[in-house]
Structure 1
Amino acid sequence: MAAPRANYFKSLSSDIPSSIVVFLVALPLCLGVALASNASPFSGLIAGIVGGIVVGFASKSHLSVSGPAAGLTVIVAAAIATLQSFEAFLLAVVLAGVLQIILGFLKAGVIGDYVPNGVIKGMLAAIGLILILNQVPHLLGDDSHFETDEGVIPEKGNIFSNFINAFAHITPVAFLIGGVCLAFHFVWEKIVAKQKGFIKAVPAPLLVVLIAVGINYYFQSSQPASALVGDHLVKIPIANSPNEFLSFFNTPDWSRIFDYNVLTIAVTLALVASLESLLSIEAVDDLDPYQRVTPTNRELKAQGLGNLVSGLIGGLPVTSVIVRSSANVNSGAKTKMSAILHGVLLLVSVAFLPFVLNMIPKAALAAVLIFTGYKLAKPSLFKSFYKKGWDQFLPFVITIVAILATDLLKGVIIGIGVGLFFSFRSNFRSAVFVVNDNNKYLFRLRKDVSFLNKAIIKRKLEEVPEGSSVIIDASRADFIDRDVIETIEDFMIAAPLKDIHVELKKSNLRDQGFNEKIADHKNGTSGGPVRNHDKSVSVKTDVPAPSKN
């Protein structure tokens, strides 16, 4: 599939419907993350608007969507409590943005390239499962918990306990709306997949919302006591005048710019937000059907600019976020105009249409998010990783479990550790290859042979019986540790005592110095008895030394 050129005008037919989908997904998440952070709901909406418009314009990512992230809720809540001033916290957000811009110029974006693919896929699947667990209560009508991208902070609930307890607090009308909307989403997906033309441009979440509002309106008209009201509906602050709308914004407290706590929080936010953004960018690029690559250093600068602006006008910190980005990908977006337009929709709706948005049942939005979660954690994904082998499957599964048990950042770090272990284990095993055919042994050293391979090489050499023939092929090794070289040299010196013929194949280009101990031994300088066993030790050079010309 050829990647589309960055012709934003021609891509609007795909990007506008996608922006509506992302807008409907982002709206409850912006509010939920703000509530989870012990901040005002409007601060979450500001971050969503900035993440869409400012970061969207500055970033070179085609499909990533930025906004307030649940991964930062614990840090934000603790920071606000520590500083005892939301305005002082906004100053920390501004400074964090400046630090991220500096990190971008220092080319720190390369960090994201070292995350194993299994960990990224595991992160996506974990977020998909968390979405499902986190949104089922809202589908059932239990709206006592806030919505987040990744989970629920421990102090306010656990996704598993909230999931189970929700079945004891079912609201019939919400369950009806949520069930109808979810079923419609799956059916619509199958219908549209086989169609062409205008119907493919109609976003399913928009139809889901219209169906939900229609059903609830029917109950309001015929059975008012059963209709959804209050916490079961979206809540956005309504301004009665431009001045009241502007009063929802806040500015930083610049008098605390040299406050140690403010500076510490700024550094923490910059580091955590940068890492989450880099991980999300890696995941989004992996989801991109056109496999386009985002320049990570530019992304750090864009995220820094976003946090700088968000902090200046009263918003929470922003990062690139998976749920909104994956919804963007799944809805068929082609360029970053989708992310930008979703920010514009958030701004317009908050400024001019809050009363319309407040008619949307949360059960309908839960259906949209559950469908998105299913797309991220399909059973086929688990099957495909299982078929790849345990070295791929275990890092994938352990990342999922770790994220579910802790949070996104800790879970990914654990997953990276497991992935590195299996990578090291694979390299460790493949570095030494031993074949025995009727006492004719081949020891082939490949890749990087470190001191950690010394034990197995020494053991295998000691197992060689008397009268054998041994070929030690070091010509394919990129690096051989000095300890390993000495182990081989010791074996070659002792080999004639057991009537073992040893042939060493090496590269003059890479293995200068091999057999130094043997040379010393023959010259009588090694400290041990000198024996003439030249007929038992030979050296071959497979790779000629480079010409001086």
Structure 2
Amino acid sequence: MKNTIEAALPADDLAGLSAAGRGHWLENLLGWRRHAAADLLASVVVFLVALPLCMGIAIASGVPPALGIITGIVGGLVVGFFAGSPLLVSGPAAGLAVINWELVQRHGLIALGPVVLMAGLLQMAAGSFRLGQWFRAVSPAVIHGMLAGIGVSIVGAQLFIMLDLKPVGNGLANLLHFPDALVAMGADLAAPRASGSAHLAGLVGLVTIGLMLAWGKYAPASMRLVPAPLVAVVGGALLAMALNLPIRYVDVPSNLLEGVQLTTIDSLRGAFDGTLLMAAVAIAFIASAETLLSAVAVDKLHNGPRTRYSRELFAQGVGNTLCGLLGALPMTGVIARSSANVQAGARSRGSTILHGGWLLLFVSLLPFVLRQVPVASLAAVLVVIGCKLINPRDIVKLAHFGKIELGIYLITLAAIVASDLLDGVMLGIGLAFAKLLYDLLHLETTLLTATPQRSAMLTLKGTATFVRLPKLAAALEKVPHDVTLHVNIRDLSYIDPACLELLEDWGERHRATGGTVVLEWETLVAKYRRRDRHTRQAVEPAGG
């Protein structure tokens, strides 16, 4: 066991560890005696949260519920053993449901396993090369826009599934056609002999949403650990059973192995197709970004060991590689299950591992219970989760950083809804890089002169690099020869040696013609981070 685990970990996590240190790590990994009671209780809570979400996300992805449960089991029993964030829970995520659905619709279920396997291998490589921290460097506008776009797309698709109907296309198409579905449902109700079940499924879905929202707000303090999604799904199932409603129910095999879609060599060869390879890259990127952002959030919830990001990324890659071999859904570290884990009192990775064991036992011993769950109830849970991904506070926060950041957020969101997840994310990243390039190259110069006082004010804003040196030189040439020039650099984010030398040379010439230069020297040093004695003599400090 020890050799197997050590061989799987990235080199940076093993470098420098003594034999005693590795033994201590394995003791923390496998010895949960001190935390057994707390972890056992927390694992049950996480299991109750994960079970309906695993099935719901699978249905939202257009695959059998068993494939979502398998991913949850792998996330607990495999990834939980050596994850870099001990309290982070891994499993199928709503954030990948859109790209999963598009992949299955375009290429069939047979393409899912090879693509997920390729994504897992990419994550393992990224973790081995210690790229974990870099996935956290994505622009917040792109991340929040991606989550909001996913939320809108999930809501658009799940509204149809909540009526036992099939989504018609991408997020925009679903939203545009949903009113027609409601009209058709109304026409069926008005017919003398309505045989459709959309209104019955819709009723179960509305009851599920109502229960989920009410439990989250009005649950007794002693019952807060019981997750709202579980209460809502159980309520919807009881309603459907009591009324014996002819609606769609979850279909899970009696033997979980029957749901396994093993990836073969022939199907793996097809993964090198350009479209599927891009889908693998997209899944790897989005899953990694969501996992590591969730790990950051989990670290803020507890005072235990901090996340080792490259190790976590490698562990996620191992999990997705195994899920790909089994033909199951891709996984990420998910904040909803992880926050429930922390709030339930989990103290170590034992809770995460045990929750995977509970999933395996439940679907192996009690599959008939899952067959009583209406599909509409699971879709309703996803509708609520999708709405939560559209966070108005993100819009307010981004607006404080400027209209450009808000614009990137809105464009990313709109592109995902109108096209697909990959196009939207790539467009958002492209816009973020364009903004970065603009910030690096943009320089504003404003010159104001006061002739009677023989003074002038030159305001510099942006970044003064050699690329913008001609613009700075042109502004300086407009300054009258014998005036006192005040140079305002408070809005200047950086100045490079070329522009600094230009100011130096121009300052010497201006002093020679009887002029004066007043410049905040300490501020300039902070911009350039280098004190140059000769330059300091060429300009006169403010107030001096």
Q: Which residue of 2 aligns with 1:301?
A: 314
How far is the alpha carbon of 1:306 from its aligned partner?
1.0
RMSD: 4.4
Q: The residue matched to 1:167 in structure 2 has which SS?
A: helix
In the alignment, which of 51, 55, 58 is matched to residue 30 of structure 1? 58
CA contact (8 A) 1:91 1:262 kept: no
The alignment's TM-score, normalised by the length of structure 2, stands at 0.72
Q: Which residue of 2 aligns with 1:539?
A: 538
Q: Which residue of 1 aligns with 2:92?
A: 67
In the alignment, which of 474, 482, 489 is matched to residue 467 of structure 1? 482
CA contact (8 A) 2:122 2:317 kept: yes
In the alignment, which of 257, 265, 284 is matched to residue 274 of structure 1? 284
Residues 202-260 of structure 1, C-alpha deviation per residue, up to 9 Å, x if partnerless? 2222221222122112222xxxxxx133xx22122234xxxxx5454354435898x58
CA contact (8 A) 1:79 1:265 kept: no
- For the residues of structure 2 that align with 1:338 and 1:126, how far apart are their CA atoms? 32
The letter for the 2-side match of 1:361 is P
- For the residues of structure 1 that align with 2:421 and 2:336, how far apart are their CA atoms? 16
Q: The residue matched to 1:54 in structure 2 has which SS?
A: helix
- For the residues of structure 2 that align with 1:389 and 1:425, how far apart are their CA atoms? 14
- Taking the TM superposition and a 5 Å limit, the aligned residue runs for 1:111-260 are 111-139=134-162, 141-145=163-167, 158-170=173-185, 171-192=198-219, 195-196=220-221, 198-220=222-244, 227-229=245-247, 232-239=248-255, 246-254=257-265
The letter for the 2-side match of 1:105 is S
Q: The residue matched to 1:401 in structure 2 has which SS?
A: helix
The answer for unaligned runs of 5 or more in structure 2 is: 1-31, 186-197
2:462 aligned with 1:451 = no
Residues 246-289 of structure 1, C-alpha deviation per residue, up to 9 Å, x if partnerless? 454354435898x5865978965663333112220244246448
Residues 428-448 of structure 1, C-alpha deviation per residue, up to 9 Å, x if partnerless? 678979787755446577996
CA contact (8 A) 1:92 1:263 kept: no
- For the residues of structure 1 that align with 2:277 and 2:433, how far apart are their CA atoms? 27
How far is the alpha carbon of 1:480 from its aligned partner?
3.8
Q: Which residue of 2 aligns with 1:320?
A: 332
2:376 aligned with 1:353 = no
CA contact (8 A) 1:281 1:294 kept: no
Greater helix share, structure number: 2
The letter for the 2-side match of 1:132 is V
CA contact (8 A) 2:261 2:328 kept: no
Residues 55-90 of structure 1, C-alpha deviation per residue, up to 9 Å, x if partnerless? 233323333533373355378549967xxx94x985
CA contact (8 A) 1:63 1:339 kept: yes
Change (3 A) 1:330 1:464: farther
Q: Which residue of 1 aligns with 2:48?
A: 20
Residues 515-546 of structure 1, C-alpha deviation per residue, up to 9 Å, x if partnerless? 7xxxxxxxxxxxxxxxxxxxxx951598xxxx
CA contact (8 A) 1:19 1:338 kept: no
Residues 158-194 of structure 1, C-alpha deviation per residue, up to 9 Å, x if partnerless? 33245334313542222222222212222222213xx
- Taking the TM superposition and a 5 Å limit, the aligned residue runs for 1:377-416 are 377-386=390-399, 389-416=402-429
- For the residues of structure 2 that align with 1:334 and 1:389, how far apart are their CA atoms? 40
The letter for the 2-side match of 1:216 is A
Q: The residue matched to 2:300 in structure 1 has which SS?
A: coil
Q: The residue matched to 1:470 in structure 2 has which SS?
A: strand
- For the residues of structure 1 that align with 2:382 and 2:101, how far apart are their CA atoms? 22
2:310 aligned with 1:310 = no
- Taking the TM superposition and a 5 Å limit, the aligned residue runs for 1:278-293 are 278-285=288-295, 287-288=297-298, 290=300
The alignment's TM-score, normalised by the length of structure 1, stands at 0.72
The letter for the 2-side match of 1:465 is P
Change (3 A) 1:164 1:462: farther
- For the residues of structure 2 that align with 1:419 and 1:483, how far apart are their CA atoms? 27
Q: Which residue of 1 aligns with 2:188?
A: none
- For the residues of structure 1 that align with 2:489 and 2:203, how far apart are their CA atoms? 69
CA contact (8 A) 1:281 1:320 kept: yes
CA contact (8 A) 2:116 2:330 kept: no
Percentage of pairs with the same residue: 25
- For the residues of structure 1 that align with 2:277 and 2:253, how far apart are their CA atoms? 32
- For the residues of structure 2 that align with 1:130 and 1:329, how far apart are their CA atoms? 24
How far is the alpha carbon of 1:106 from its aligned partner?
0.8
Q: The residue matched to 1:164 in structure 2 has which SS?
A: helix
- Taking the TM superposition and a 5 Å limit, the aligned residue runs for 1:393-542 are 393-422=406-435, 438-441=453-456, 449-470=464-485, 480-481=495-496, 483-485=498-500, 487-488=502-503, 491-492=506-507, 495=510, 500-502=515-517, 510=530, 539-540=538-539
